[in-house]
Amino acid sequence: MNFDEYQKLASRTATFSGKQAEIPLVYVALGLAGESGELIEKIKKVMRNDNGEISEEKREEIKREIGDVLWYLSQISRLCDIPFDDAAVTNIEKLADRAKRGVIKSEGDTR
C-alpha cells in the first residue's frame, strides 16, 4: 500500500458533522495533536514503567497510535489538496538533500 492508497481508504471514515463540518481542517489538526499526545504518552509510560523495554503488548499499542496519527496526517493532506504520496516523497527528498549538503543535524525548516 502506498500513501495515496492509504489516504483513499482512510478517507472513507472521514465524516464530519456539525461544527466539525464547518472547519474540518481545524478539527483534524486538533485530532492530530490529540493522537500525537496519545502516542507520546505510550512511549513515556514505557520509559517510566518498563525502563524503556517495549513489550509485545506495548508495541501493539504504539503501532495503533502511529496509525491514528497517520490517519489525521492523511486527512490534513487531503484537506490541503496535497497528494499524500507527494508529502512523503518531498520529505525524503528534503532529507536526502540535507544529508548530501551535510546539514542534517543543523536547525531551521528551510536549510
Place of cell 506495548: 58
Integer Cα distance of 57 and 95 in angstroms: 32
Nearer to Mg ion, 33 or 99 (CB): 33
Position 85 contacts Mg ion (CB under 5 A):
no
Position 68 contacts Mg ion (CB under 5 A):
yes
Q: Which member of 11, 14, 36, 38 binds Mg ion (CB under 5 A)?
A: 38
Q: CA angle at residue 82 from 96 to 92, to 5 degrees?
A: 10
Task: Give the binding range for Mg ion (CB under 5 A) out of 27-35, 42-50, 74-82, 91-99.
Answer: 27-35
Position 43 contacts Mg ion (CB under 5 A):
no
Q: How many residues bind Mg ion (CB under 5 A)?
A: 4
- Closest-CA residue to 66 (of 33, 36, 45, 86): 36
The distance of closest approach from Cβ of residue 68 to Mg ion in the complex, given in angstroms and rounded to an integer, is: 4
- Closest-CA residue to 61 (of 43, 77, 74, 76): 43
Residue 52's region, left for phi above 0, alpha for psi from -120 to 50, else beta, is left
Nearer to Mg ion, 37 or 96 (CB): 37
Query: Which stretches of the chain bind Mg ion, using CB under 5 A?
Result: 35, 38, 65, 68
